[in-house]
């Protein structure tokens, strides 16, 4: 019978957890954008209800003129309950006492293993958002192919493609889209597109040259607030085999959408990441991740654990339109 640990005492490691105060910065450095497309909002439990007001209740056509008898019309609306559900995600890494002492003059094993776990947690979240958002099933009835792939830079017309759907979104949701979501390859095609360059030539603030257009300038040419560019990649093969990298966000899609810019749960947007902030470690900003360690006497070593608890929640999918057929094979 295997020897059991004589003690298992869990210790919350605030010193390690503080590294996650820069969680959003780590995402940005790696080109991860999931937290921008479906911004994080904190809740006090793993599941529950929250209030929701439908568009037909928000945009009622109400008479406001006072009646001859002095009475005023009254605004009434129905509040609906919506539900959310989160799931726990986490990883552990073993820390051998002898190995730590052997290499402690070269590397901090705790920090290194923590960074590996951090990257895995970030990537798993990013892939979940990308798989959900760049998905014609999610945007059923709100997906269409562009006439000419944006990779055909001489004749594609992304300006017209996007303009045609801005009003569709506005009349379906009551708000205009504020972002275009693309991956890095599609962004590169857009800033080399003749149609985009011609649109910028006479703006007067930038010398519009192929491949030298900023995200801000591209947004101006498309008449939207911002272009969100995904640059994250992942290894498609298992460990032990030479890595083959691929984009997390597909080349075949681009999303025009209204994404949340405030912490208000009532803001109209396509959706949110809802997180259960179990230990109260969040400062109200990005995703919080708990760091813990415990010791296993049976093998004379520690275990580092990092965990988080989140779920994706669609809100007003009327606020988005998914373009397909973006890149030629």
pLDDT at position 21 is 36
Query: Model confidence over 34-91: pLDDT tens digits?
Result: 999 999 988 888 898 877 777 777 777 878 888 888 888 887 777 777 888 999 999 9
| Residue of 239, 158, 240 whose CA lies nearest to 199 | 158
Q: Cα–Cα distances in Å, from 305 out to 12, 54, 296?
A: 10, 41, 13
pLDDT at position 281 is 58
Token pair for 134: 């760049």
- DSSP character at residue 54: -
pLDDT at position 206 is 58
Number of Cβ within a 10 Å radius of residue 112: 12
| Residue of 196, 317, 307, 206 whose CA lies nearest to 258 | 317
CA distance 183 to 186: 5
Residue 52's H or E segment, with its range, is strand 47-52
pLDDT at position 23 is 33
Q: What pTM, to 2 d.p., does this model score?
A: 0.83
Fold of 11-53+80-324: phage-related protein like fold (3.90.1690)
- In which residue ranges of the chain is pLDDT below 50? 1-7, 15-25, 27-28, 103, 106-107
79 touches 111 (CB < 8 A): no
């Amino acid at each position: 019978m295997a020897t059991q640990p004589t003690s298992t005492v869990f210790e919350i490691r605030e010193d390690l957890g503080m590294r996650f105060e820069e969680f959003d910065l780590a995402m940005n450095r790696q080109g991860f954008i999931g937290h921008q497309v479906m911004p994080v909002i904190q809740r006090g439990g793993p599941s529950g209800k929250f209030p929701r007001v439908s568009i037909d209740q928000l945009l009622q056509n109400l008479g406001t003129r006072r009646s001859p008898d002095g009475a005023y019309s009254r605004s009434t609306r129905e509040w609906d309950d919506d539900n959310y559900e989160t799931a726990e995600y986490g990883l552990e890494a073993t820390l051998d006492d002898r190995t730590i002492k052997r290499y402690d003059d070269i590397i901090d094993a705790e920090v290194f293993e923590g960074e590996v776990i951090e990257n895995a947690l970030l990537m798993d979240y990013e892939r979940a958002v990308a798989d959900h958002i760049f998905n014609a099933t999610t945007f059923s009835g709100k997906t269409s192919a562009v006439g000419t792939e944006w990779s055909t830079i001489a004749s594609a017309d992304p300006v017209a493609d996007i303009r045609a759907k801005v009003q569709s979104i506005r009349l379906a949701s009551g708000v205009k889209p504020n972002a275009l979501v693309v991956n890095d390859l599609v962004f590169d095609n857009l800033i080399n597109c003749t149609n985009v360059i011609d649109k910028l030539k006479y703006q007067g603030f930038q010398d519009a040259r192929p491949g030298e257009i900023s995200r801000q300038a591209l947004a101006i040419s498309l008449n939207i607030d911002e272009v969100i560019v995904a640059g994250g990649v992942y290894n498609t093969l298992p460990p032990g085999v030479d890595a083959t990298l691929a984009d997390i966000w597909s080349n075949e899609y681009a999303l025009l959408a209204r994404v949340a810019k405030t912490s208000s749960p009532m803001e109209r947007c396509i959706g949110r990441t809802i997180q259960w902030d179990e230990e109260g470690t969040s400062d109200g900003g990005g995703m919080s991740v708990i760091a813990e360690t415990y010791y296993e006497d049976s093998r004379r070593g520690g275990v580092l654990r990092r965990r988080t608890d989140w779920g994706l929640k669609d809100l007003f999918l009327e606020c988005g339109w998914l373009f397909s057929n973006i890149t030629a094979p």
